[in-house]
């Protein structure tokens, strides 16, 4: 049999014999001619089979095809502008059924809960393929940015002896004669790399939060995008790196997939302009209040409606989909965020909001061990329990800072989906461990 050709490569192929393989999307079984829409991992194409005495066996095979069956076809490629699907078609010469699909349990109208039960079928579509193709492009562009700018990739352990951040959101795991915990983030180890003299580092890997949230943007397991850099003057250096990274990622996605995103998701994806807008937390509270929303949270943090309101304000006034909210109060930030020298109530930190939703938190870290101990006590923590972490700072460490960002959440907002369950390959939440 002729070597397999991906459907997206057919356009560049000369008329003649080709071999294509994929799954059946549509069968139009007419009296004199049969049409099959075949899709593979790259795209879809029309197969045609004239019905006559010479093609009777093939015609019977096509008539028996079910939606979702996988087939191999060898036939004659013909470029024809009259064909709506790609301007080409393949006249079937031989057809082999690799596997026959039973009646599919879901379709495009099925609700998301049931579609999640049958995720391998749910993703068998142009929409599903495109989401993870562009995710690949986005991560490749990020890695390219990091490598080109002298970053080192690290892979930190996900089994930990103690909490990385909040004990309240830890998954406990039996570990021989003791208990281990699934890492909530690579935060501690990113900072260890600074003490080790690595300078700029990044990691793309799993993170776990035992958070019983059922919102559209939370998961118990997610892919975290993390970076940490040394020798910074303030969190502004981290924000600059962060916005440049996203600008590079969006530029790559738009260049490679912009037309298909427009076709499939009906979104004209734009590359965000540099620099991203920056608004202090205090200013945000005033802007949001002026827009008629009162933040109910007593700890001073922003609530989801405040995030939506400040995003709407920035979109209206600056035409931008991103905004850095900076200088968060120390009451809502962890003990390891550096506080402003001029005002101890304010931290050198930020949240990055995209499309009205927070996608990342970043900060300059506190690197002075005596200050870390003092701030830990103020947060109700015992320095004795933090000894392994505090050791990182006892033997010399440069100024440093970084961020963590959820991959699926960025994709959800990029593609204007209602939930990260759509943009996560296999979602994990409080009530979902399968498939």
Q: What radius of gyration, in Å, describes the C-alpha atoms of the chain? A: 26
Q: Please tell me the predicted confidence (pLDDT) of residue 31.
A: 87
Mean pLDDT (whole number) for 396-413: 97
Over 80: is that where the pLDDT of 347 sits?
A: yes
Together in a domain, 235 and 143: yes
Residue 47 labelled as part of a binding site:
no
394 SS3 class? coil
72 with 177, same domain: the answer is no
Gap between the Cα atoms of 287 and 323, Å rounded: 13
Out of 104-108, 129-133, 201-205, least confident range = 104-108
pLDDT in tens, 288-322: 999 999 888 877 789 999 999 999 999 999 999 99
Q: Is residue 279 part of a domain?
A: yes
Listed range (165-169, 315-319, 325-329) with the worst mean pLDDT: 165-169
Return mean pLDDT, the chain: 94
Judge if 87 and 170 occupy the same domain: no
Within-domain flag for 210 = yes
Domain membership of residue 58 (yes or no) is yes
Can you give the pLDDT at residue 120? Answer: 95
233: Cβ contacts below 8 Å, ≥ 6 apart: 399
Residues 47 and 164 in one domain: no
Asked whether residue 125 carries a pLDDT value surpassing 60, the answer given is yes
Give the model confidence (pLDDT) of 210-242 as tens digits: 988 888 889 999 999 999 999 999 999 999 999
Q: What is the CATH number of the domain that holds 188?
A: 3.30.930.10
Residue 1 in any domain: the answer is no
Based on the fold, state whether residues 219 and 321 are members of the same structural domain. yes
Q: Where would I find the beta strands (DSSP E) of 118-200?
A: 152-153, 159-160, 172-175, 178-182
pTM to 2 decimal places: 0.93
Instruction: Give the per-residue pLDDT at 1.
Output: 64
**Measured CA distances, 95 to 110, 347, 367 (Å):** 31, 66, 66
SS3 content of the chain, % helix, strand, coil (to 5): 35, 30, 35
**Lowest pLDDT segment from 19-28, 86-95, 208-217, 295-304:** 295-304
User: Percent of the chain beyond pLDDT 70?
Assistant: 98
305 is known to lie in a ligand binding site: no
State yes or no: pLDDT of 363 exceeds 90.
Answer: yes
Euclidean distance between CA atoms 246 and 262, whole angstroms: 20
User: Which of 99, 129, 148 is a domain's end point?
Assistant: 99
226 within some domain: yes
Integer CA distances (angstroms), 225 to 204, 212, 369, 370, 422, in order: 5, 22, 27, 30, 19
Lookup: tokens for 326: 């900076």
How many structural domains are present in the chain?
A: 2
pLDDT of residue 215: 87
- Domain holding 76, by residue range, is 7-99
pLDDT of residue 165: 58
pLDDT tier for residue 164 given thresholds of 50, 70 and 90: low
In a domain, 367, yes or no: yes
pLDDT at position 2 is 77
Q: Check whether the bond before 435 is cis (ω within 30° of 0).
A: yes
- The reported pLDDT for the residue numbered 15 is 95
Q: What are phi and psi of 190, to 5 degrees?
A: -60, -40
Q: What's the CA gap between 13 and 77, in Å, rounded?
A: 8
Residue 164 is classified by DSSP as S
Domain containing residue 28: CATH number: 2.40.50.140
Q: Are residues 186 and 297 in the same domain?
A: yes
User: Is 39 labelled a binding residue?
Assistant: no
The pLDDT score that the predictor gives to residue 163 is 64
Residue 424 marked ligand-binding: no
Determine the average pLDDT of the residues in 378-386: 89
Give the tens place of pLDDT for each residue, 181-209. Answer: 999 999 999 999 999 999 999 999 999 99
> What is the share, in percent, of the chain residues with pLDDT greater than 90?
90
Say yes or no: 144 and 219 in one domain. yes
pLDDT tens digits, 261-295: 999 999 999 999 999 999 999 999 999 999 999 88
Please indicate, yes or no, whether residues 131 and 62 belong to a single structural domain of this protein: no
DSSP 8-state symbol, 392 = T
| 76 lies in the same domain as 131 | no
Per DSSP, the three-state class of 409 is helix
Both 219 and 301 in a single domain? yes
DSSP 10: G
Helix, strand or coil, per DSSP, at residue 76: strand
Annotated binding-site residue? 326 = no
408 is in an annotated binding site: yes
Both 270 and 233 in one domain: the answer is: yes
Residue 145 near residue 250 (C-beta atoms within 8 A): no
Q: How far lies 285's CA from each of 277, 282, 306, in Å?
A: 16, 5, 8
Q: How many CB atoms lie within 10 A of CB 425?
A: 12
Q: Report how far residue 413's alpha carbon sits from residue 417's, in angstroms, rounded to the nearest whole number.
A: 6
d(C-alpha 265, C-alpha 255), whole Å: 16
Mean pLDDT across 314-339: 96
Q: What is the mean pLDDT of residues 139-166?
A: 91
| 38 labeled binding residue | no
- Residue 16: phi and psi, rounded to 5, are 150, -165
pLDDT of residue 211: 87
Is 228 annotated as ligand-binding? no
Q: Is residue 299 part of a domain?
A: yes
Query: Please, which residues bridge with residue 16 across strands?
Result: 77
Place 166 in a pLDDT band, splitting at 50, 70 and 90. low
Question: Which residues, in sequence order, are bridge partners of residue 70?
Answer: 23, 99
User: Which pair of tokens denotes residue 362?
Assistant: 């970043």
Instruction: For residue 107, tell me if it sits in a domain.
Output: no
- Of the three residues 64, 99, 134, the one that is the final residue of a domain is 99
pLDDT band at 385 (very low <50, low <70, confident <90, very high): confident
Q: Are residues 304 and 204 in the same domain?
A: yes
Q: Are 67 and 123 in contact (CB under 8 A)?
A: no
365 labeled part of a ligand binding site:
yes
Distance CA 3, CA 20 (A): 9
Confidence band for 168, pLDDT divided at 50, 70 and 90: low
């Amino acid at each position: 049999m002729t070597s397999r050709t991906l459907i997206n490569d057919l356009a560049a192929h000369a008329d003649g014999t080709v071999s294509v393989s994929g799954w059946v999307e549509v069968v139009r079984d007419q009296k004199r001619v049969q049409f099959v829409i075949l899709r593979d991992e790259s795209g879809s194409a029309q197969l045609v089979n004239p019905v006559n005495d010479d093609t009777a066996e093939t015609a019977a095979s096509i008539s028996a095809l079910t939606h979702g069956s996988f087939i191999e076809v060898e036939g004659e490629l013909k470029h024809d502008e009259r064909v709506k699907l790609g301007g080409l078609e393949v006249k079937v010469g031989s057809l082999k059924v690799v596997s026959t699909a039973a009646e599919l349990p879901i379709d495009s109208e099925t609700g998301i809960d049931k579609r999640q039960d049958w995720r391998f079928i749910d993703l068998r579509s142009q929409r599903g393929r495109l989401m993870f193709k562009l995710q690949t492009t986005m991560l490749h562009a990020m890695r390219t940015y990091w490598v080109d700018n002298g970053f080192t990739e690290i892979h930190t352990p996900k089994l930990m002896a103690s909490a990385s951040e909040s004990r309240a959101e830890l998954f406990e795991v039996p570990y021989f004669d003791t208990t281990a915990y699934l890492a909530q983030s690579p935060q501690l180890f990113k900072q260890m790399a600074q003490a080790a003299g690595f300078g700029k580092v990044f990691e793309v890997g799993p993170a776990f939060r035992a958070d019983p949230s059922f919102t559209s943007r939370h998961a118990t397991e997610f892919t975290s995008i993390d970076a940490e850099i040394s020798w910074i003057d303030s969190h502004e250096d981290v924000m600059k790196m962060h916005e440049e990274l996203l600008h590079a990622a969006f530029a790559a996605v738009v260049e490679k997939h912009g037309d298909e995103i427009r076709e499939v998701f009906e979104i004209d994806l734009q590359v965000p302009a540099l620099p991203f807008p920056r608004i202090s937390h205090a200013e945000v509270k005033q802007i949001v209040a002026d827009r008629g929303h009162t933040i109910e949270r007593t700890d001073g943090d922003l609530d989801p409606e405040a995030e939506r309101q400040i995003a709407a304000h920035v979109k209206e006034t600056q035409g931008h989909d991103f905004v850095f909210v900076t200088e968060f109060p120390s009451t809502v930030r962890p003990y390891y965020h550096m506080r402003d020298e001029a005002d101890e109530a304010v931290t050198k930190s930020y949240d990055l909001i995209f499309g009205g939703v927070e996608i990342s938190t970043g900060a300059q870290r506190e690197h002075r061990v005596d200050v870390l101990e003092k701030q830990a006590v103020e947060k109700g923590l015992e320095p004795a329990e933090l000894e392994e972490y505090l050791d990182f700072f006892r033997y010399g460490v440069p100024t440093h800072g970084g961020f963590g960002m959820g991959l699926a959440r960025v994709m959800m907002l990029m593609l204007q989906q209602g939930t990260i369950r759509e943009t996560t390959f296999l979602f994990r939440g409080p009530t979902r461990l399968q498939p």
